[in-house]
Structure 1
Amino acid sequence: MSNQTKQHTWQQIITQWQDSDLSAAAFCRNQSVNYEQFYYWKKKLSTHASQGDKKTSLQLSSGFTRVTQVEHHAQTNDLSLNLPSGISISGLQSNNIHLLGDILRQL
């Protein structure tokens, strides 16, 4: 199987996962997909896609994403988090920040 065919196959698998409501581990178990290979291709395809997109957040080699403060016209104390995958989490405040860990574990 050529690298281009593998890349296309894994892109389809990752798209199916994104369309599901499952965690990556649960999806891999249900689809009999090797989790380590899934993670490798997810990262590889994500990195490959972000190299062509200048607007994508910078993903550092440590796996962390650079966080920047965005100025809003309306005064608010809400926290917003934009992930490289395009997912945006907003409305977090000091009284519900504990939910962020629960949300991120589901991704």
Structure 2
Amino acid sequence: MKKTSIETYYELFYRWQRSGLSKAAFADREGISKVSFYSWCKKFETKTDSQDASTGFTRIELAESASQAAVAKISYPNGISVELFGSFDPDRIKALVS
């Protein structure tokens, strides 16, 4: 059986949060192991809660009419990823990551 990456599980976790489905229903719909999905959700929920409290960052949800495909993704070695949607200024992005 092929192992699923942390990035894939985080994407599933994020999609589940937006889906309005229970974890079990979402796992069934996606054809993934409920046990694994529950385990990863617990890790992400704990990590997200502690990061939000300590860094002051808040997740911003996109409007439903906004583009759903990211135009760029920045992945840091510590596992944090930043996805950019819509148009953006490359110079501004360089300033953010340097």
Shorter-chain TM-score bucket reads 0.3 to 0.5
Instruction: Give the TM-score taking structure 2 as reference length.
Output: 0.45
Structure ID, larger Rg: 1
Q: Which has the higher contact order (CA 8 A, sep 6+)?
A: 1
Name the one with the larger helix percent.
2
